[in-house]
Amino acid sequence: MLKNRLLDALKNKNTKKPDGSVSQAAAKIENQKRLSTQEILKVYETIWQEGPKVKYQNPGAKEREPQFINQNPTLY
Protein backbone atom coordinates (compact mmCIF):
# COMPACT_ATOMS: atom_id res chain seq x y z
CA MET A 1 0.00 0.00 0.00
CA LEU A 2 2.77 2.45 0.91
CA LYS A 3 4.70 1.49 -2.21
CA ASN A 4 1.66 2.25 -4.39
CA ARG A 5 1.13 5.63 -2.70
CA LEU A 6 4.81 6.50 -3.19
CA LEU A 7 4.71 5.51 -6.85
CA ASP A 8 1.52 7.54 -7.41
CA ALA A 9 3.07 10.58 -5.76
CA LEU A 10 6.25 10.28 -7.83
CA LYS A 11 4.34 9.86 -11.07
CA ASN A 12 2.04 12.81 -10.33
CA LYS A 13 4.94 15.10 -9.43
CA ASN A 14 6.92 13.89 -12.44
CA THR A 15 4.15 14.88 -14.89
CA LYS A 16 4.37 18.51 -13.75
CA LYS A 17 8.09 18.77 -14.46
CA PRO A 18 9.52 15.65 -16.12
CA ASP A 19 12.78 14.36 -14.71
CA GLY A 20 14.49 11.22 -15.96
CA SER A 21 16.08 10.30 -12.66
CA VAL A 22 12.70 10.34 -10.88
CA SER A 23 11.26 8.07 -13.58
CA GLN A 24 14.17 5.67 -13.18
CA ALA A 25 13.77 5.68 -9.41
CA ALA A 26 10.03 4.99 -9.74
CA ALA A 27 10.79 2.08 -12.07
CA LYS A 28 13.33 0.68 -9.60
CA ILE A 29 10.86 1.00 -6.72
CA GLU A 30 8.21 -0.77 -8.81
CA ASN A 31 10.62 -3.62 -9.58
CA GLN A 32 11.79 -3.72 -5.94
CA LYS A 33 15.39 -2.81 -6.81
CA ARG A 34 17.75 -0.84 -4.60
CA LEU A 35 18.06 2.90 -5.14
CA SER A 36 21.37 4.72 -5.19
CA THR A 37 22.00 7.53 -2.75
CA GLN A 38 21.40 10.14 -5.44
CA GLU A 39 18.10 8.53 -6.40
CA ILE A 40 16.95 8.43 -2.78
CA LEU A 41 17.76 12.12 -2.39
CA LYS A 42 15.92 12.96 -5.61
CA VAL A 43 12.84 11.01 -4.49
CA TYR A 44 13.02 12.76 -1.11
CA GLU A 45 13.18 16.19 -2.76
CA THR A 46 10.25 15.28 -5.00
CA ILE A 47 7.85 14.16 -2.26
CA TRP A 48 8.92 16.59 0.51
CA GLN A 49 6.21 18.97 1.70
CA GLU A 50 6.99 21.72 4.16
CA GLY A 51 4.90 21.63 7.29
CA PRO A 52 3.27 24.49 9.15
CA LYS A 53 5.38 27.12 10.89
CA VAL A 54 5.08 26.95 14.66
CA LYS A 55 5.48 29.95 16.91
CA TYR A 56 5.85 29.23 20.57
CA GLN A 57 3.63 31.28 22.82
CA ASN A 58 6.19 31.51 25.60
CA PRO A 59 9.76 31.15 24.28
CA GLY A 60 11.34 32.34 27.54
CA ALA A 61 9.73 29.58 29.62
CA LYS A 62 12.73 27.30 29.17
CA GLU A 63 14.98 29.71 31.11
CA ARG A 64 12.39 30.21 33.86
CA GLU A 65 11.53 26.52 34.22
CA PRO A 66 14.06 25.74 37.02
CA GLN A 67 12.57 28.57 39.09
CA PHE A 68 9.10 27.05 38.76
CA ILE A 69 10.39 23.65 39.80
CA ASN A 70 12.06 25.10 42.90
CA GLN A 71 8.88 26.99 43.87
CA ASN A 72 6.53 24.05 43.39
CA PRO A 73 8.32 20.67 43.14
CA THR A 74 5.04 18.79 42.60
CA LEU A 75 4.61 20.33 39.13
CA TYR A 76 7.00 17.88 37.48
SS3 18: coil
What share of the chain in percent tops pLDDT 90?
Answer: 12
Sorted by sequence, the CB contacts under 8 Å of residue 3 that are 6+ apart come out as 29, 30
Domain ranges of the chain: 1-48
pLDDT in tens, 30-51: 899 999 999 999 889 888 888 8
How many CB atoms sit inside 10 A of residue 43's CB? 21
For the entire predicted model, the pTM comes to 0.55
What pLDDT shows up at residue 69? Answer: 60
